[in-house]
Chains A and B, each alone.
Chain A
């Protein structure tokens, strides 16, 4: 089974802090994703990466950046946390790239981030 591990289940930070959310997958997948999920808004894609050092903006990238230095790890960075970034953050992986069209995504457990 695919294992996607997020570093924290619950996290509380203060406004203005730089926040790092880490995600690791063990299936050698090329594709990795960061979403946030809010009541009434569903899952929204923040950023995704289809290879090491490659990244593309999703639907709501503002206020976020990402890092993919190693294939198994995809980090989401809140440069200066704000209260409207309080949310559930979900990491996912998918692959391999050449057969990705028929592959589902596998999610981590999620990180509930609160910005005070």
Chain B
């Protein structure tokens, strides 16, 4: 199967600090990874598309300077929440699209619960 991991699974940070979340595809390569945000009892909201070796594409309303994305290799994408505030507290989920895959193959990580105090 296609396994995607995220680290950390939970993080608590103080307001004003930055937090980095890693997303790794463990047994496949992914040119494209996606970052989602999910509020309690709500669906997933796409934040940005992360492309290996190029700049991420952000969805409308998502601040690119606030949510820094780096896709340094075919198996790793990172999301850094800069100068975090309590309203950034959320469940962040990444997904990856295998190189071999068609337009509909996306595998999701287990998510990272961010709490900003």
Q: Do A and B bind each other?
A: no
